Structure 1
Amino acid sequence: MKLEPWFWHEKSLAANAAAFALSPAALLYDIGQQARAAAARPRKIGAPVICIGNATLGGVGKTPFALALNRLLKERGITAHFQSRGHGGTLRGPVRVDPQHGAAEVGDEALLLAREAATFVAKNRRRGAAAAAAGADVVIMDDGLQNPTVVKDCAFLLVDAADPSGNGRVFPTGPLREPMARACRRADAVVLIGDGAPPVAAAKPLFRAHTTIEPQIAPQAVVAFCGIGRPERFFSALEAHGFHLLDRIAFPDHHAFALSELAMLRAKAKRAKAALITTEKDIVRLTGEAREGVAVAVLRMRIEEEDRLIDFALSKIGAPI
């Protein structure tokens, strides 16, 4: 299944030619982004804001990192509320996520966040953050680094160490929302996900974290599927955990699975005499009978030097360390 343009992650003459054909659109996109930022008047929202973002389109582990950060804050006695745009959801908000909501209404990521802390979704980031600020010591903004309407007291830029910026070009010629150097300047610290060198030489504090999985079944032969930003990370994590992947099927990020697709996946697993497994983020998009017989692997974020990272965040938001 086609997820991203083939030339986003290639550096060849053919890839360069394909990207060059779209360069006028990329220029207009980048000018629009900069004009929006220049025209905006960022405001404080009544509580400190910790923003978790990235420079590329797609996933790099922002939600697992947000959950890990919330745990560290809670250990220090600090109450955090989450704010999400509710990607894939229809509700404009601001609205607090509750157990009655479904992924079609508030998005899959918000449902995961709401299991751990009060979570507010809103298409308008400023209004959503203001709603989340009520009763919170700090608001954790899941994504939103490029949103210019809210003052961020601490901004973490998450970077995939294995593939920091694809071909290094801005959308639609590449996977970048903005040039990596600009994103680094915007952030207060860089968090490398996985092993590898920093994408640019930024004079910012550098942290490192790793994606891990907690599967609910023992390692065995499986048919794995997911609709997340970086599906290869999930598949690789399963293999590293000892699973034998007989098939791997990647859908677009935030994909709304049809019953016919689930039937196809079950048929593949049955023919292969294998278990069917997906991510926690995907399972919340399945309802009722669609979840039956589908095992789940929970994606977690392990942060190196946790104390150093949380001390840094607390110093930025003016909280006692």
Structure 2
Amino acid sequence: MSRPRLPQTPAWWFDGSPPPAWTRVLAPLYGAAIAIRRAAYARGLLRRRHPGVPVVVVGNLVAGGSGKTPLVLAVVAHLQAAGWTPGVASRGYGRAEPATPRWVEPGMPAALCGDEPLLIAHATGAPVRVDRDRAAAAAALAAAGCDIVVCDDGLQHYRLARDVEVEVQDRRRRYGNGLLLPAGPLREPLERAADCALRVMNLGVAEAADDPACAGEWPMRLRVEAAQPLLGGRPLPLSAFAGQRVHAVAGIGEPERFFATLRDAGIAVVPHAFPDHHAYAAEDFAFGSPLPVLMTEKDAVKCMAFAQPGWHSVPVRACLPEGFWQALAARLPARGA
């Protein structure tokens, strides 16, 4: 079921202002459609499909960015280190020909597969399959030799049967005004969170490492890594840009978070915010001054074809306590079982 799509994150979702009347009319209708669909799967009227290997779904209840991609990267890396052969299933939001399933190859145009799947393939080396039917994507990954599937942003894709659900929540935004789309940011009612075996609270980069999450939530902190030149060469720590002015580029759910990270490193930011999933062209970078360019890793994979000297990607990696990984392992079968 498609959900209402709005061009930008509406201010009323998070700033406490009252939602427009039209959204309050539509929200109950959206909620009723969700309830009917969930009931159809619960009663077997709609059939779930399982690929025959364990499935870990990472998602959220809130529309927009919450830290899903860094967590998916961390989960895939952890599984690889533990001896699994994970594959990643994704819808590939915003890609051309969305009805066509595709294998994602590092270096392919993001327009064909979506920016987040391309980033995951580039960063992990794991097989990535994009398909609006995530159950079909998982089956293809299993047939290709993957012994576990990580589904990126799949909480609401009930057709895919899963073994573990992980909900990610942004600490600052949480559930916004607590209302369903389009009156609020919720894709599903709040009580849906109780179904998730593991719940992760994204503390971001600037939060203290020991900043506690709420009861029942695992804290996730993002670690900024060295800036990677898009044209190749030696990575540079962010401290190398301290005291300099740079053009900062972010086409993500919350661009200000990236800009704040750079400012916290002592960098004078000239911000350039683009819409989430923006399809970049060279002319987007006609800034008029020859400053270094720092961008998110998600943006960088879309700019390789026209990258210039002085352009850098700033990767972030998720850090979670050991207890989280133990809790995840406890919910998975033994490898090879």
Bin the TM-score by the shorter chain. Answer: 0.7 to 0.9
Q: Which of the numbers 67, 72, 75 marks the counterpart of 2:81? A: 75
User: TM-score, length-normalised on structure 2?
Assistant: 0.83
> Which AA in structure 1 matches 2:165?
A
Q: Does 1:188 align with 2:197?
A: yes
Q: Which of the numbers 76, 81, 90 marks the counterpart of 2:96? A: 90
Say if 1:299 and 1:5 are closer, same or farther in 2 by CA, change over 3 A: same
CA contact (8 A) 2:57 2:162 kept: yes
Match of 1:153 in 2: 163
Match of 1:123 in 2: 132
Match of 1:102 in 2: 109
What SS does the corresponding residue of 1:317 show, helix, strand or coil? coil
User: TM-score, length-normalised on structure 1?
Assistant: 0.87
> Which AA in structure 1 matches 2:285?
L
Say if 1:76 and 1:99 are closer, same or farther in 2 by CA, change over 3 A: closer
C-alpha distance in 2, partners of 1:93/1:48? 25
C-alpha distance in 2, partners of 1:244/1:173? 37
Say if 1:293 and 1:167 are closer, same or farther in 2 by CA, change over 3 A: same
| 1:229-248 aligned within 5 A | 229-245=253-269, 247-248=270-271
Instruction: Measure how far apart 1:36 and its partner are.
Output: 2.2
Q: Which of the numbers 255, 279, 286 marks the counterpart of 2:278? A: 255
C-alpha distance in 2, partners of 1:87/1:191? 23
CA contact (8 A) 1:212 1:237 kept: no
| 1:149-298 aligned within 5 A | 149-182=159-192, 184-194=193-203, 205-216=216-227, 217=236, 218-219=240-241, 220-245=244-269, 247-263=270-286, 266-267=287-288, 270=289, 274-298=291-315
Map Cα deviations across residues 235-289 of structure 1 (whole Å, 9 max, x no partner): 22222233221x22222110112443222xx32xx1xx63221111001122422
User: Structure 1: where are the runs of 5+ without partners?
Assistant: none
Runs of 4+ in 1 over 6 A off after TM superposition: none
Cα RMSD after superposing both structures = 2.2
C-alpha distance in 2, partners of 1:250/1:35? 38
Map Cα deviations across residues 178-200 of structure 1 (whole Å, 9 max, x no partner): 23332x1231111011057767x
CA contact (8 A) 1:224 1:276 kept: yes
> Which AA in structure 1 matches 2:253?
G
Map Cα deviations across residues 72-121 of structure 1 (whole Å, 9 max, x no partner): 11221111111111112124343221235210000111111112111111
Q: Does 1:56 align with 2:57?
A: no
C-alpha distance in 2, partners of 1:36/1:66? 26
The alignment covers a number of residue pairs equal to 302
C-alpha distance in 2, partners of 1:296/1:100? 15
Map Cα deviations across residues 122-170 of structure 1 (whole Å, 9 max, x no partner): 0111111111122112100011111110111011100111110222221
Q: Does 1:112 align with 2:119?
A: yes
